[in-house]
Amino acid sequence: METRITKLFGITKPIISGGMVWCSGWRLASAVTNAGGLGLLGAGSMHPDTLAHHIDRMNEHAHGTWGVNLPLMYPEIDAVIDLIIERGAKVVFTSAGSPKKYTARFQAAGIKVAHVVSSSRFAVKCEEAGVDAVVAEGFEAGGHNGREELTTMSLIPQVRRATSLPLIAAGGIGSGEAMLASMALGAEGVQIGTLFALSAESSAHASFKEYCISLPEDATMLALKSISPTRLARNPLFNRLAEAEARGESADVLREILGQKAAKRAIFEGDVENGEVEIGQVVAQVKRIDSVADIFKRLESEYLSALQRIQSLG
């Protein structure tokens, strides 16, 4: 399949793995790249020296284009940008900040830049900032999320009309059917989080993966709206936060309940009762831990079946 996204990144399949904190290390990202997609390292949970290590492993193990997801709130942002450029990443996905500040610096080093948005208003700002592609991520996505609460079904057609940038859909894409739906809506590629977070190659803790594949369809909810909206699975920590929110508690009280490194606690250390279980709404569609190669095979086969079904409707 050829789209502006496959051509931009020089990949054979328009499938990108989200650069997810505590999940997207070199094992996951290189497996995605080696399956023909674009694997992203999740720099958001890595100290600069850890990121350097993962980039070095990518250079050894990934046979194709790969990239780094960089939240622009990263504390040592300038050091980490130098590091990404020096170690030879070819693609950066930026999020949680303005694309205006760093895009030119990456592009001057020959790096393609995509920026993640949750509204068409921000997609237009991306175009003004000169990014190479935009990721439009809907309300159903796991982890950090937009305040507009626009779903992928609402958002993608709006972004498609607002900008001519190559467009990647994210949020709620758990099957080949949803991948085809994203392309129908106007996307030219998909970024998938939940399926890859729960893959064999994800660096998430085994207890996190086991917990997630047991979850029912109403397991996740957008929480922490007064701090930074984040999609979490319900667990004892979630319930403590929800009760505090219902009482009208301040953001400071919520931060205290959350404590330090709440995402690491659940995802990397496996404490699924007291940590933030950041996962997408499609988690209920994942009932086993598959390899990245098997996930790609399933997505392709479902996509083709759905395409045939659509064509047969006339």
Interacting residues with a second copy (CB under 8 A): 1-3, 119-121, 138-140, 147-154, 156-158, 160-161, 171-175, 177-178, 180-186, 216-218, 221-222, 246-248, 281-282, 284-285, 306-307, 309-311, 313-314
The structure tokens 């030119």 sit at 104
Tell me the C-alpha distance between 190 and 221, whole Å: 22
CB of 260 or CB of 312, closer to a second copy: 312
Tokens coding 70: 């960089």
Q: Where are the beta strands (DSSP E) in 96-197?
A: 112-117, 133-137, 143-144, 167-170, 189-192
The CB-of-238 to a second copy minimum distance in angstroms stands at 14
Torsion-angle region of 171 (φ positive above 0: left; ψ -120 to 50: alpha; else: beta): left
The CB-of-135 to a second copy minimum distance in angstroms stands at 15
CB of 31 or CB of 183, closer to a second copy: 183
CB of 50 or CB of 301, closer to a second copy: 301
CB of 127 or CB of 148, closer to a second copy: 148
Angstrom distances, CA of residue 305 to CA of 288, 290, 300, 302? 22, 20, 9, 5
The CB-of-310 to a second copy minimum distance in angstroms stands at 6
CB of 182 or CB of 203, closer to a second copy: 182
Q: Where are the beta strands (DSSP E) in the chain?
A: 15-17, 39-42, 66-71, 91-95, 112-117, 133-137, 143-144, 167-170, 189-192, 220-223, 230-233
The CB-of-307 to a second copy minimum distance in angstroms stands at 7
The CB-of-245 to a second copy minimum distance in angstroms stands at 9
User: Helix (H, G, I), strand (E, B), or coil: what is residue 40?
Assistant: strand
